[in-house]
Amino acid sequence: MEVRRDPRSFVLFIILLLLLNSPDTPQQSFSAHSRFEETIAEEWAHLSILNTTHYGDFDAAGDKWLNLTGLRDEDGYAWDLLGGVKGRVKEQVRMLLGEKAEAVLEGDLDDYTSLEMYRNISGFVQGEWVRSPLGRVLHPSDINASALNPLNPDFPIAMPEYDRNLTGMGGPIRVHLSETEGRMKTDENRTVSEVTARLVIGDDGSFGGNWWEFMLNGVHFPRFGGVVLTTTSDRFAGIFALPHFQISQNLYSSAQDLLNWTIHDTIERQTNRVYPSWNPWTSTLDGSAESSAMNPHCEFVVYLQEHPVQFQLKPEQNPTNGQIDMGWLEHELRYPTGSPLPRRSALSMSMVGFSPNCGFVIESKGPPEFARSVHTHLAGSKTEEFADKARHGIIAFAVTLSLQLMFLVKQMKETATPSTRNRVSFYTIAMHAMGDGFSFLALIFLHLFLGSSQLPLFTTAFLALFSVVFELRFLMDIWTVQATERMRQDRQQATTATAPGQTSTPTPTPPPPPPSDGTLPLPVTAARGGATTPPIIIPSDGDEPLGNPAQATTTGETDRTPGRAELGALYSRYCLLLIGLFFLTLQFTTVRSTARATYFNIFCFLYLSFWTPQIYRNIMRNCRKALRWDFVLGQSFVRMLPITYFYAVEDNVLFSHTDVRALAVLVGWVWIQILALASQEILGSRFFIREGWAPPAYDYHPILREDEEGATMPIGSTSITSPTSPTSTLHNPDDNSEPDASVPSLSKPGESKERGKKVFDCSICAMDIEVPVIPSGGDGEGAAAAGLGGMILQRRAYMVTPCRHIFHTACLEGWMRYRLQCPNCREILPPL
């Protein structure tokens, strides 16, 4: 007897694992505390240098250096490239702002409202980068490791290459900017403000398409849209040298004034924290400190320049002065009141990036070096627009889930009997449930990635969970019916199996002699010889006879239907497989681009193979019409919509790369399965399978023949009238007179007026069935050709039972939806 497992023990085991793997409360050792004090003292010293330096004090070409980590002459960084990078940035500013560029850079522009640019650049931009000829190759051996890492000076030299090192000629890049008001710091006149950015950059020239993601900190000049960002680590004091990376005296002064007090406040908060924060400006995503013993990486200094916003105004929207109030536009985007917004260009930026310790210089692809129709530098949208687009996508996905649920409910109503549930493939519905469960988990954690639309995400997740509940209920019903069928087949095989040397023919028991006392004989069910035979009870649903529970126990059978333990194991396996698949997918989101694309292509291909188990079950059971066609077509369409969105739409909410070829393969695979199901319903479930590849199964659509060897004619059939024989009439054969012409001629019972056809009666609908019959003595090859070719569709109009009764196909299929018994003789019928 199977032991039922308590699920609470499994939950406690998972909680114990989480407690064991949870991080301990950080405890500072004496050496760590001493090292933290040294870090704080070094930050105060760097801040003092920032306060006492002036514009032009750092110039590698003029042999001017700063006593900051990474900005000293002995560090070996490629600061000789900074002059050329600044010159390239000035060229981009002049190209975008025209004659106003010099006035903007020096702070002499009187009317900054004439520059139609966003004052808050929170959002994202993405595009392609290309290597600039300004850069040069810098090897790890060129870096002074002893000066940068005195604790382990040989570590960087032993490394073959730096992390984040771009070795190719181009690749994708995406920058997420965050400048939330109330959190970021700015000056009184709103001329400069702090900004953080998350940069995702890939290298097409690396093996497998390597990519990196890291954080940068910097300043934004809202008046003209300039942004300067940098990384900060133990090997590079980027945030303290940020003013010296500016391209004009005015920008240097603004950045220095802002960073003087913002860095001061940050160090004080860093000192007063209960647990130490080693680097508040770290480039790691999780905010952890970058130890000197870690793998060295390339530092970044990034320049961004916002493009002026282009408006497409209608005549009624044209303002009097020809300009749009950007303050009103941003306020309406952030706090919408329903006012119509003018059509405008996307948030666009030009980029120049520079790595001082790796020596490369990169630029965004765009005019004038590249055609505008191909590359437009970096383009994206503001946070408010992205959140609105994400909300619309979530609503669309909720509609697809509602359609899935509607089709599922119709299918569940259609398969409400054991006979119809027996045809449906368990694994087809299980794959649907697995996909909806995966959607539920993804929607639950997606708000961590999007950063917004939490309420629509959770609402849609609940709808996905609702679909999973329905599908699991459907799976339980299917499992119950099909497990009972397997148990019944196992019992039949065990009963019919005989030992060698024994015969399966039962020995008839002679009737008992009549009693000698003159009383009536005992009934046939009475016990003989003192033995008590329990009665056999036939249930009303036509299931197997219910015997004595004690006898069932002795034969090893405890339950007729799957118990709670089996169903509980079914749910446990589903949950474990779903959670394992979800965490495996999360791991593959961080691998190289080629491996990630391969995994998701295989994942989508396997998921969209949900009709393959149904095709296989149709072949093995030789059955048809297991699923409704609106269920097949509807589920295929709505489940392809999200995949089509991520494979075909460029600016999707998950920033996934499009792949139209892979999408074409996936769509073609789904339609191949649908065509296979349609051909099985029209031409037969095994029409494309060679004989012997599938187990034998009864064919309800046989070719009717009148020859004696393969007699498949139904009961009550008669021979076919020869086409050359005269029409039979009703008259006395002993009468020599001619038949009366006024009496109409009648065909023999069971005959049709057409050649090679016969008429039968359907006892379900009481209508005639005209079926083709191969006459006896006909040409074998011609009969085979007629049976396999011309009669392949005509055979689908009738069905012949193993007890040789014939019915209309629609009539018998409708009957077999409820009872697997012959309507005439009540003999058990094989499943359809």
How far apart CA 677 and CA 614 sit, in angstroms, is 8
> In terms of domains, do 365 and 390 share one?
no
Instruction: Assess contact for 379 and 445: CB atoms under 8 A.
Output: no
DSSP codes joined into one string, 530-577:
T--PPPPB--TT--PPB--HHHHHHTT---SS--HHHHHHHHHHHHHH
Residue carrying the six token digits 């000789």: 80
Q: Helices (DSSP H) in 53-116: which residue ranges? A: 82-97, 101-106
How far apart CA 601 and CA 596 sit, in angstroms, is 9
> In terms of domains, do 788 and 717 share one?
yes
Highest mean pLDDT among 499-508, 659-668, 674-683: 659-668
pLDDT at 193: 92
Q: Mean of the pLDDT values across residues 171-183?
A: 84
* 354 vs 505, residue with greater confidence: 354
> In terms of domains, do 133 and 229 share one?
yes
- 602 forms beta bridges with none
Instruction: Please state, for a pLDDT cut of 70, what percent of the chain lies above it.
Output: 73
Residue 808 has pLDDT above 90, yes or no: no
3-state secondary structure (DSSP) of residue 774: strand
Cis status of the peptide bond prior to 368, with omega within 30 of 0: yes
* 510 vs 456, residue with greater confidence: 456
pLDDT at 491: 76
Instruction: Assess contact for 636 and 627: CB atoms under 8 A.
Output: no
Residue 503 has pLDDT above 60, yes or no: no
Instruction: Assess contact for 770 and 759: CB atoms under 8 A.
Output: yes
Residue 661 has pLDDT above 90, yes or no: yes
Residue 773 has pLDDT above 60, yes or no: yes
| Residue 800 falls inside a structural domain | yes
How far apart CA 776 and CA 17 sit, in angstroms, is 76
Residue carrying the six token digits 């295929």: 636
Cβ neighbours of 22 (radius 10 Å): 8
- 757 forms beta bridges with 772
Radius of gyration over alpha carbons of the chain, in Å?
Answer: 41
| Residue 408 falls inside a structural domain | yes
Residue 788 has pLDDT above 50, yes or no: no
| Residue 493 falls inside a structural domain | no
Residue 519 has pLDDT above 90, yes or no: no
pLDDT at 141: 60
> In terms of domains, do 627 and 704 share one?
no
> In terms of domains, do 48 and 141 share one?
yes
Q: Which of 256, 121, 258, 128 is nearest to 196 (CA)?
A: 121
Question: Strand 343-344 relative to strand 768-774: parallel, antiparallel, unpaired?
Answer: unpaired
* Among the ranges given (253-257, 520-524, 622-626), the one the predictor scored with the smallest mean pLDDT: 520-524
> In terms of domains, do 824 and 753 share one?
yes
- 807 forms beta bridges with 799
Number of independent structural domains in the chain: 3
pLDDT at 230: 96
* Among the ranges given (126-130, 333-337, 547-551, 606-610), the one the predictor scored with the smallest mean pLDDT: 547-551
* Among the ranges given (140-144, 172-176, 343-347), the one the predictor scored with the smallest mean pLDDT: 140-144
> In terms of domains, do 262 and 397 share one?
no
| Residue 7 falls inside a structural domain | no
For the chain, the residue count is 832
pLDDT at 554: 37
| Residue 803 falls inside a structural domain | yes
> In terms of domains, do 359 and 454 share one?
no
pLDDT at 13: 60
* Among the ranges given (282-296, 593-607, 615-629, 772-786), the one the predictor scored with the smallest mean pLDDT: 772-786
| Residue 554 falls inside a structural domain | no
pLDDT at 711: 52
**pLDDT per residue as tens digits for the range 81-100:** 999 999 999 999 999 988 88
Q: In one letter, which amino acid is 7?
A: P
* 137 vs 634, residue with greater confidence: 634
Residue 507 has pLDDT above 80, yes or no: no
pLDDT at 556: 41
Q: Which CATH number goes with the domain that contains 801? A: 3.30.40.10
How far apart CA 291 and CA 789 sit, in angstroms, is 77
* 485 vs 435, residue with greater confidence: 435
Instruction: Assess contact for 357 and 348: CB atoms under 8 A.
Output: no
Which structural domain, as residue segments, surrounds residue 674? Answer: 386-488+562-683
Instruction: Please state, for a pLDDT cut of 90, what percent of the chain lies above it.
Output: 36
pLDDT at 800: 87
Instruction: Assess contact for 226 and 101: CB atoms under 8 A.
Output: no
Q: Which of 780, 812, 777, 809 is nearest to 793 (CA)?
A: 809
Q: Write the burial class of residue 394 (CB in 10 Å: 0-12 exposed, 13-18 middle, 19+ buried).
A: buried
* Among the ranges given (209-213, 414-418, 629-633), the one the predictor scored with the smallest mean pLDDT: 414-418
DSSP codes joined into one string, 191-246:
S-EEEEEEEEEEETTSTT-EEEEEEEEEEEETTTTEEEEE--BTTB-TGGGGGGG-
Residue 276 CA to its chain's centroid (Å) = 40
Helix or strand run (H / E) with residue 662: helix 660-683
**pLDDT per residue as tens digits for the range 331-368:** 888 888 888 888 888 899 999 999 998 989 999 999 88
When pLDDT is cut at 50, 70 and 90, the band that residue 48 belongs to is very high
**pLDDT per residue as tens digits for the range 268-279:** 988 887 777 788
> In terms of domains, do 222 and 133 share one?
yes
pLDDT at 435: 95
Q: Which of 758, 764, 776 is nearest to 805 (CA)?
A: 764
* Among the ranges given (148-157, 385-394, 437-446, 638-647), the one the predictor scored with the smallest mean pLDDT: 148-157
How far apart CA 524 and CA 511 sit, in angstroms, is 8
Residue 721 has pLDDT above 50, yes or no: no
How far apart CA 417 and CA 434 sit, in angstroms, is 24
Q: Which two tokens stand for residue 370?
A: 């590249």
| Residue 736 falls inside a structural domain | no
Instruction: Assess contact for 377 and 351: CB atoms under 8 A.
Output: yes
Q: Which two tokens stand for residue 171?
A: 């690749």
pLDDT at 558: 42
Cβ neighbours of 150 (radius 10 Å): 9
pLDDT at 53: 92
Mean pLDDT of the chain: 79
| Residue 320 falls inside a structural domain | no
How far apart CA 244 and CA 246 sit, in angstroms, is 6
Helix or strand run (H / E) with residue 781: helix 780-785
When pLDDT is cut at 50, 70 and 90, the band that residue 510 belongs to is low
Helix or strand run (H / E) with residue 759: strand 757-761
Residue 550 has pLDDT above 80, yes or no: no
pLDDT at 553: 39
Residue 528 has pLDDT above 60, yes or no: no
Q: Mean of the pLDDT values across residues 607-611?
A: 95
> In terms of domains, do 229 and 180 share one?
yes
> In terms of domains, do 588 and 714 share one?
no
> In terms of domains, do 390 and 369 share one?
no
